[in-house]
Structure formats: C-alpha cells, structure tokens
Structure 1
Amino acid sequence: MDPFNQLILAISVTSFFAFQWLFHRVSPWTSRRITHGFLGLSDRQKVEWNSRTVSTFHALLVGIFCLYILFFDDAVNEDPVWGDPTLVKTNVAITTGYLISDMLLIFYYWKAIGDKFIVVHHVAALFAYYYVLGEGLLPYFANFRMLAEFSTPCVNQRWFFETLGYPKSYRPNMVNGVAMTVGFFLVRIAVMPVYYIRMYAVYGTDPYYVVSRGGRVAWIGSSICLDIMNVMWMHKIGRGCYRVMRSALQSKAGPRQDNGKTD
C-alpha cells in the first residue's frame, strides 16, 4: 500500500469518527444553544434533527470542494477517466466516511430515520467510490455526482422550520417551497443530460476500455440507480410543493410536507 492510499484510508476513518462526533456531541450541544425549540422535540425528532444537521455540514463541505475541482482542476476536466484524481479522492474519502457513519446511524436508529431507499443510495455510491479510491479512475464523474449534495441543505432547512413549528409567518412559505424544489431540480435532475452526454463521449474510447469491467459496472450501474432515486425524490418533492402552493393560494395555510432525507 503506497503512502497516498494510506492517507486516503486515514481520511476516511477520520471522517467517519468526525461525523459520529458531530452527531452525538456537536449537533445536540449547538442546537440547544441556537434554539430552545430543540429541547421540546421528541427523542425521534432529535435523532433526525442531528442526522440532518450532520448531512447539511457534509453537503456544504464536499459541495464547495466539488466546485473548486470543477472550475480549477484542469487534469480532471481534461481527462475525465484517468485525470489526476488526488483532490477527487480526498473529497470522496470524506464522503465515504460520512456514508458509512450515516448508514450505521440509520440501522441503529431505524425507527427514527430508517429509510430503505437511503440505504440503497449509500450502498450504490460506496460501490462506485470503491473504484475511485482503489483505482483512481473516473475522477470527473465522481466529482460531478457529488455536486448533487447542494440540494441537501435546502431540503433540511425546510424540515427544521416545519419541525420547530414556528408561527406560520415564519414557516417556509410558498416561495421557500418553490426555491427548494427548483434547487433540487437544478443540481440533481437538470444536470443529468450533461452527465450522460459526457459519459457517452467517453464510451467506446481507448480510456474506457482500460477501465476494469467492475469499474464500468460501478460507474454506469450506480449512476442509473442513483438517478432513478433522484427522479423519485423529485416527484415526491414536486408533489409536496404543488400542495403547498395550492393551499397557500386558497387558504394561506399550507399543509406539512414530508420531503424525505436525501444525500
């Protein structure tokens, strides 16, 4: 094992324990001091609150890193299959630690935050990341997919406000719901053609055939699996947004919306 692989392993392990610490210690301690409403939540709501707090932090961290790579890492952008994966592997290692940490929490607190689709999402992502970290392949595509994390803070923010039960004048209103839906659509649905056009451009080329068969299965199979779930979540969020808009226009009292937790 070369030193960089040891570094990647260390980053993944550190990430795992860091996100566990954020969930069990940092989020409860901070939340109690930011809003008194946290103390009035049920045990299940506190578990989901802490889980969403951690997922929001992770999304912002890796999302900003993704943007930097997308705009400034020429090696990755010029060679999407075998470009220098150093920065991408570092970011993927952080996400790998988070995904394993989150799955552990999901199984342990299944009654509060259990979701079979989230488990499938995490497993599909980890399957693809195994090849990114182990073989250093497909750095552009791995980085592009992680841009979807930017939808997570918007979805979580709406859940936080709804759960706190703020007065209607402070709740996420129709504009907030539309903004969240549009944001989710832009980073998870609208970018699909760009992603698959770039994938098609690589398919059948010499760099493509250098990729191992397992790597190709992980790349194409995981992408399709993740995007099927993105479309499902988009449909769910879109329906909820429609209900909020219709109720707001009719009675100025929109119903609660269950957005689901996405990564």
Structure 2
Amino acid sequence: MDPFSQLILSIAVLSFLTFQWLFHSVSPWVSGRVSSGFLGLGPQQKIEWNSRTVSTFHALIVGVFCFYILLFDDAINQDPVWGDATLVKINVGITTGYLISDLLLIFYYWSAIGDRYFVVHHLAALYAYYYVLVKGMLPYFANFRLLAEFSTPCVNQRWFFEALGYPKSSKPNLANGVLMAVTFFLVRIVVMPIYYGRMYLVYGTQAFYRVSWGGRLAWIFSSFCLDVMNLMWMHKIARGCYKVLRSSGGPGTPVRNSRKAD
C-alpha cells in the first residue's frame, strides 16, 4: 500500500474512532451542560440526541470541505471522472469513518435509532465511496453528493426542538422549519439536474469507458437509490410544511418523519 493510501486509511480509522468518542463521551458531557432539558430525556431519547449531535458535527465539517473543493479544486472540475482526487479522498475518508461508526450505532441501538432506510443509504454510499478511495475514480460526483450534508443540521435541530418540548408554532421552530425545507430542497433536489447533466456529458467519452462495470454500477445505482430516498424525504417535509402552514397561518416545520436525512 502506497503512503497516500495508508494516510487515507488512517483518516478513515481516526474518523471512526473520533465519532465514536463524540457519541459516547463528548456529546453527553457537553449536552448536559448546555441544555438542562437533555438531563430530563429518557435513555432512548438520549441515544438519538447524541447520534444527531455527532451527525450535525460531521455534516458541518464535511459540507464546508465539500463546498471548498467544488469551488477551488480545478482538477476534478476539469476532469470529473479521473481528476486528481487527493482532497476528495480526504473528505470521503472522513465520511467513510462516520458512516461505519453510525452503522455500528444503528445496529447496536436499533430499538432507539434503527432505520432500514438509513442502513440502505449508508451501505449504498459506502459501496460507491470504495471506488473513490481505492480506484480514484469519479471524484467530482462523489464530492458533489456531499452537498446534501448542508441540510442535516436543520433536520437534526428540528428533532432537538421537539425533544425539548418546543411547540411547533414557536418562533425558533418556525424559523428552523422554513430553513430546513428550503435547504433540503436546494442541496438535495434542485441540484439533481446539475448532477445528472454532468453525468450525461461524460457518458460515452473515453474517460467513461475507463470506469469498470463495478464502478459504473456504484455510480449510477447508488445515485439512483440516494435520490429516490431524497425525493421521499422531500415529499414528507413538503407535506408536513403544508399541514403546519394551514394550521398556523404562517411558515412551519414538518411533522416527524425519519431519524435524520444525512
């Protein structure tokens, strides 16, 4: 294994250990001091609280890094299939460690945070990221998918407000609900034509035919699975917003749906 591959593996392992530490130690300690309401939660709610805290931290770190790469990494923008994937591999390595950590927690605490859709989501993402980390292919598309992380903090914050007993009509809840719906729509739905348009442009090119059949399957199948779930979640969010808008006469937050949408 070459030195850079060893570095990426080390980043993924360190990421896994860091997110486990954040879940088991940091989040409970910080949350108990920042929010008195955390101490009054039941055991299962505390598990989900810590899971969402870790999820928010991951989303902010990876999302900002992803946006930087899209703006300033000329290598992957000029060659989205085989461009220099150095920065993308680092970002994907962090996400890989998080996904494995989260999968472990989902299975271990299934009664509290188990969700079959997130198992499918995580496995599909890990399958696709294997080709990025090991084969160095499709860096632009792998990084582009991480834009979706920008919607995660608002989704998690909505659950925090609900767990703490904030009314749906409260101003913090209303503001977060509107921001969540708008952000989710922008980074998960609006970007679909851009993503698939870029995919269409490289289809049939020499760079495309250099991608193995396994890589093409990971690219197309994983993208399809993730976007089907994004459309399902967007439907639930829009339907919930509509219900709250009708009942409150103003912008509102959606009803409870899934554990999180990362």
What TM-score, normalized to structure 1?
0.95
Task: Structure 1 unaligned segments of length 5 or more: list them.
Answer: none
Give the Cα separation in 1 of the matches to 2:64 and 2:131. 23
Partner amino acid, structure 1, of 2:255: Q
1:8 matched residue in structure 2: 8
Does residue 189 (structure 1) correspond to residue 189 (structure 2)? The answer is yes
Q: Give the RMSD, CA atoms, in angstroms.
A: 1.6
Q: CA offsets, 1:114-137, max 9 Å, x none?
A: 000000000000000000000000
Does residue 97 (structure 1) correspond to residue 100 (structure 2)? The answer is no
Query: Is this contact kept in 1: 2:202–2:208, CA < 8 A?
Result: yes
Query: Is this contact kept in 2: 1:150–1:187, CA < 8 A?
Result: yes
2:203 matched residue in structure 1: 203
- Provide the secondary structure at the position in 2 that maps to 1:129: helix
Query: Is this contact kept in 2: 1:162–1:256, CA < 8 A?
Result: no
Alignment coverage as a number of residue pairs: 260
Percent identical pairs in the alignment equals 72
Q: How far off its partner does 1:97 sit? A: 0.3
Partner amino acid, structure 2, of 1:262: A
Give the Cα separation in 2 of the matches to 1:255 and 1:8. 39
Give the Cα separation in 2 of the matches to 1:17 and 1:241. 37
Query: Is this contact kept in 1: 2:128–2:222, CA < 8 A?
Result: yes
Q: CA offsets, 1:186-236, max 9 Å, x none?
A: 000000000000000000000000011100100011000100000011111
2:47 matched residue in structure 1: 47
Q: How far off its partner does 1:176 sit? A: 3.2
2:231 matched residue in structure 1: 231
Give the Cα separation in 2 of the matches to 1:257 and 1:39. 24
Give the Cα separation in 2 of the matches to 1:101 and 1:10. 15
1:258 matched residue in structure 2: 256
Query: Is this contact kept in 1: 2:239–2:254, CA < 8 A?
Result: no
Partner amino acid, structure 2, of 1:103: L
1:255 to 1:220, Cα distance in 2 relative to 1, 3 A: closer
Give the Cα separation in 2 of the matches to 1:183 and 1:41. 28
Q: CA offsets, 1:140-199, max 9 Å, x none?
A: 0001000100000011111111110136545502x4322211110100000000000000
- Provide the secondary structure at the position in 2 that maps to 1:172: helix
2:173 matched residue in structure 1: 172
Query: Is this contact kept in 2: 1:121–1:226, CA < 8 A?
Result: yes
Query: Which residues of 2 match residues 75-90 of structure 1 at below 5 A?
Result: 75-90=75-90
Give the Cα separation in 1 of the matches to 2:254 and 2:6. 47
2:245 matched residue in structure 1: 245
1:98 to 1:91, Cα distance in 2 relative to 1, 3 A: same
Q: How far off its partner does 1:262 sit? A: 1.2
Farther off after superposition, 17-26 or 233-242: 233-242
Query: Is this contact kept in 2: 1:124–1:225, CA < 8 A?
Result: yes
